[in-house]
Amino acid sequence: MITEISPDQFTEDVTESLRDVAEAADQADQVNTLNEQTCLSLKHHGLSGARLWLASDDAGTPVGLALLRGHDLDLVVRPDARNQGVGSGLMAQVAATGDRIEAWSHANHPAAAQLADRFSVPLERELIVMSRRTALPVPPVELPTDISIRTYHPGDEEELLRINAAAFKQHPEQGHMTLADFRDRTAEPWFDPNGLFLAIDAASDSILGFHWTKVHRDEKPPYGEIYVVAVDPHAAGRGLGKVLTAVGLQHLATTGVDDVILYVEGDNEPALAVYYGQGFARLRSEVQYQGTPRS
C-alpha cells in the first residue's frame, strides 16, 4: 500500500519510519541514501514545499519512500522489500505528478538504472567519490607572497556565498547555496569554524577563495571530507585551489581520522588530474537521472 503523507501528518512516527527505511538501505548499500540537503530540509522545514509517499507491507510496516521537493527526488526501498514492485509503485506516484525530476543513485545501484529505464528518465551526471589516507604526505605548495590564510569569522558569510555562487555557477546544487542553507549547516554539530579556511588578498583584505572541511564523526569509522573548495574566478590562475586544498588536508590529518573523501564531477578531467596527483584514488561513483518520468 502506498500513502501520500500531508505536511500536517509529518509526525515523529513518520520521521522514525523514514529513518528506519533509510538506515536499512544505508547498511545494505554502504552509502548515505538520503543526502545532506534532504536531511537538513526535513529537519528544518518538514514537508513544506515537498510531497512524500510511504509504501507499507501487508502488516503496515513502511518499506519504501519517495520524497519530491521541487525537482529533487529521493526514492528508497528497504533491502528486504526490493524486487517486489515497491520502487515501481512509488515511481508511478511521482510520474503521476507530471513533474520533471532529478534523482541521485548514491550507490550507482543497478536497480536504480532499471527503474530509470522503466520510466524513461535518462542518466545525465556522474560524480566520482575519491579517497585519500591522511597518513600520506601532503604535496608541498608555496603560498603566494600576496596571500594569507585565516579561518572563518562571523561576518564572512556574504563574501563566501558570493564566491561560492561564482565558482559553482554551472553546478546545480552547490552554486545555489543561500544564507539560510549556510546557517543550517553551521548550526550542525559537525561544523568547526577552525576547519573553514579563507585565502585573503593582502592588498585589499578581501576573500579570494575558501576551503571548507568536514569531519564525519558520526560514521564508523569517522572520516574527513573536502567539503567545498571555491576560488573567485577573478583570482583564477594564482594556484589558490592547490594551496587551499593542501591547507585543508594538513588540518584534516590532525583531526584523528584515517581517510579523507571528496566529490568531483566525472567529466572534470583537470580536477581529477589534480586530485590524483595529490594522492586521491577513485572510491565509487554516484549518478543522477534527470527528466520527466513516463509510466
pLDDT in tens, 62-120: 999 999 999 999 999 999 999 999 999 999 999 999 999 999 999 999 999 999 999 99
pLDDT tier at 172 (50, 70, 90 boundaries)?
low
The CA-atom distances, in angstroms, between 60 and each of 17, 83, 197 are 11, 18, 49
Query: What is the reported pLDDT for 175?
Result: 64
What is the DSSP-derived secondary structure letter of residue 141?
Answer: -
Q: How many residues does the chain have?
A: 295
- Examine the pLDDT at 219 and tell me if it is beyond 80: yes
| pLDDT surpassing 90 at residue 171 | no
Q: Which residue has the higher pLDDT, 97 or 238?
A: 97
Q: Peptide bond before 221: cis, by omega within 30 degrees of 0?
A: yes
Find the mean pLDDT for residues 179-201.
95
| 3-state SS, residue 30 | coil
186: pLDDT strictly greater than 80: yes
Instruction: Fill in the amino acid letter for 135.
Output: A
Residue 20: what are its φ and ψ, rounded to 5°?
-65, -45
pLDDT for 217 equals 94
For the entire predicted model, the pTM comes to: 0.86
Q: Are 275 and 130 within 8 A, CB to CB?
A: yes
The predicted pLDDT at position 37 comes to: 86
**Of 37-41, 80-84, 209-213, 288-292, which range is least confident?**
37-41
Confidence category of residue 176, pLDDT binned at 50, 70, 90: confident
Asked if the model's pLDDT at residue 47 lies above 70, the reply is yes
Residues 81, 64: Cα–Cα separation, whole Å: 8
